Amino acid sequence: MTDTLLIKGARVIDGTGAPWFPADVLVERGRIAAVGPMLDAPDAEPLEAQGRFLAPGFIDAHCHDDLIQLRQPGRPEKVAQGVTTVVVGNCSFGLYPQSPDSGGPLREHFGNLLGTVSDRETFADFAGYRAALDGRGTAINLISLVGHAALRLAVMGWQNRAATPEEREAMAALLADQLRQGAHGLSLGLVYPPSAWADRAELVRLAEVVAEHGALLTAHVRSYEGGLIASVDEFLDLLKAGGASGLLSHLQAAGKPYWGSLPRAVERLEIARKGGTDVSFDMYPYPAGSSTILQLLPPSALAGGVEALLARMADADGLAALRRAVEDGEAPFDAGWESKIRLIGWENVRIGGVSADDLRPLEGLSLTEIADVAKEQPFDTLVRLIRADRGRTNIVMFQLAEADLETALSHPLHMLGSDGLPRETGKPHPRAFGSFPRYLARAIRGEGGLGLEDAVRHMTAVPAQRFGLSDRGLVRPGMVADLTLFTADVADCATFQDPTRPPHGITDVLVAGQFVLRDGGHTGARPGKALTRA
């Protein structure tokens, strides 16, 4: 294979939102050398596009691929979607940094979302995580955010209280170390303990550190339900007070009582930008979300960690209090918290993935279905699963309205993020396997008022700018040759019943000028790397 490739006869979608145009693209030594008609490069390896679309490689602006990138560096499900870069460390979940005493709690926290984590899969700092990734080699690039939970666990453990001034400064120093090593920013998970227990003083101090390093602050905000507008305003306040740029994670209105409120939330962001606050948001193209089963409980239930939760469940009074919280919404220690079950019902919560082998037959079933077979109340099913799997169960929740989804997906401040929760087994949410071709197909069909070229922009140039990738996200000479070729009949094939089916129509994918997908087949090449902030 030569270091030079000539892609001929493509319909180029350059990432800017401009209409596609016919052109050849010359790639030399991993970068785009020329874009134009009838290019001549006799020594180049030819690739006949035959009218297929050529776009910048897609950037997954929000996912949870931290662990799977270590375990499956070929990343077949991402390559198959045309994704060349992923952003990890979201919603406060990450694999670093850890102190000498916080490795166990950090593995427990991450494991609640994505299953068992070994002691070789968490790291003292970003440099250690990056070295592990690059040492294995990886098919695609990775951008990493620092998870707020790791900072708190390293300094405070699972304590449900405000940080002292000394603890705030210790977290600020630990964050600054990671940003100096090249991490791209900080992620908050304000519904997930221990991130949920931070007060404004702590969050503003960390936002200041983010701003000092020219990094990014992202947030899973405190509520996407009745408290959505207040939670958006809280995040905007943090950005303004700390002087940071921000990305609001998976902006949505969850639960039928609150459907239709998303335009108001978007308007808050628009007003903030007019006032000088740099903020945008990401969202996935599905009406269901996914999370840990522990999100069905109030945050205070996790005080002390999973062991403390299991102890409370073993106590009759503690279990009764949890039942009242989940079934009736009574959670006196959790101001603003709303029970997911009261909003969407047991029947709209499905088991996606488990860690305990004997629970695997339950994957894909709703809590109602499992309870009916066991002849028990759904709450008792919930408790049984948490005990048996020690909280490491993933769930899929059907909770969103299509109209709100369209509002988010077509807005200029939006960028596409799969929010995938990849596990090596189970029936996960199909968004990890189909988000990008699904978004393309919707645009090609004319759904949501967003054209194909704008859809590509939401997956390329917009996230590239947000994460400071000045040499990616556009088909333009001098840019790194992260490129995706796809057909006009591109489509996602993953469903909630069969969530891991690969898509149709993504034919070729290059990372830094090397094929990771060619003629629909994975090449095994690993040209990707962990990208650091400039």
Which numeric CATH code is attached to 58-291+399-470? 3.20.20.140
* pLDDT for the residue 126: 98
Amino acid identity, position 28: E
- Whether the CB-CB separation of 408 and 416 falls below 8 Å is answered with no
Kindly tell me the sign of the dihedral angle through the C-alpha atoms of 30, 32, 33, 36: positive
Give pLDDT, residue 423. Answer: 85
pLDDT of residue 412: 96
Residue 384: strand, helix, or coil: helix
3-class SS letters over 256-313 = HHHCCCHHHHHHHHHHHHHCCCCEEEEECCCCEEEEEHHHHCCHHHHCCCHHHHHHHH
pLDDT at 375: 97
Output the pTM of the full model: 0.97
Start-end of CATH 3.20.20.140 domains in the chain: 58-291+399-470
**C-beta separation of 440 from 299 below 8 A:** no
Return the pLDDT at 424: 80
The reported pLDDT for the residue numbered 332 is: 86
Write out the two tokens for 151. 């900072």
pLDDT at residue 2 in the model: 63
For residue 65, the 8-state DSSP code is -
Strands 4-12 and 45-48: parallel
The CA distance from 95 to 149, in Å, is 10
Per-residue model confidence as pLDDT tens for the chain (534 residues):
568 999 999 999 999 999 999 999 999 999 999 999 999 999 999 999 999 999 999 999 999 999 999 999 999 999 999 999 999 999 999 999 999 999 999 999 999 999 999 999 999 999 999 999 999 999 999 999 999 999 999 999 999 999 999 999 999 999 999 999 999 999 999 999 999 999 999 999 999 999 999 999 999 999 999 999 999 999 999 999 999 999 999 999 999 999 999 999 999 999 999 999 999 999 999 999 999 999 999 999 999 999 999 999 999 999 999 999 999 999 888 888 999 999 999 999 999 999 999 999 999 999 999 999 999 999 999 999 999 999 999 999 999 999 999 999 999 999 999 999 998 888 999 999 999 999 999 999 998 789 999 999 999 999 999 999 999 999 999 999 999 999 999 999 999 999 999 999 999 999 999 999 999 999 999 999 999 997
pLDDT for 394: 95
Rounded CA-CA distance 283/137 in Å is 29
- Closest-CA residue to 255 (of 319, 317, 181, 329): 329
Question: Are 529 and 138 contacting, i.e. CB atoms less than 8 angstroms apart?
Answer: yes
